[in-house]
């Protein structure tokens, strides 16, 4: 989210883009969704570690 905001500011310095409250809320929501998508699968048993030969 920060990288996108910095990209807009650096690459389009003369544009009239304002990073407002709505953009911040969307960025936080996106961050939470991505974090949950990465953290949730092991909680449901996907990608469990099982030593070879112990099945």
What would the mean pLDDT of 6-32 be, rounded to a whole number? Answer: 89
C-alpha 12/C-alpha 6 separation (Å) is 10
The full set of domain ranges for the chain reads 2-34
Nearest to 27 by CA among 51, 49, 6, 54: 6
Residue 15 contacts residue 8 (beta carbons within 8 Å): yes
| pLDDT at 55 (0 to 100) | 60
Q: Per-residue pLDDT for 17 more than 90?
A: no
Query: Is the C-alpha dihedral spanning 16, 21, 27, 30 positive or negative?
Result: negative
For residues 7-29, give the mean pLDDT. Answer: 88
- pLDDT tens-digit readout, 23-43: 889 999 999 999 999 988 888
């Amino acid at each position: 989210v920060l990288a996108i905001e910095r990209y807009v500011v650096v690459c389009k310095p003369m544009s009239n883009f304002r990073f407002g409250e709505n953009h911040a809320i969307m960025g936080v929501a996106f961050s939470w969704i991505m974090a949950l998508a990465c953290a949730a699968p092991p909680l449901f048993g996907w990608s469990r570690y099982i030593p070879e030969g112990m099945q």
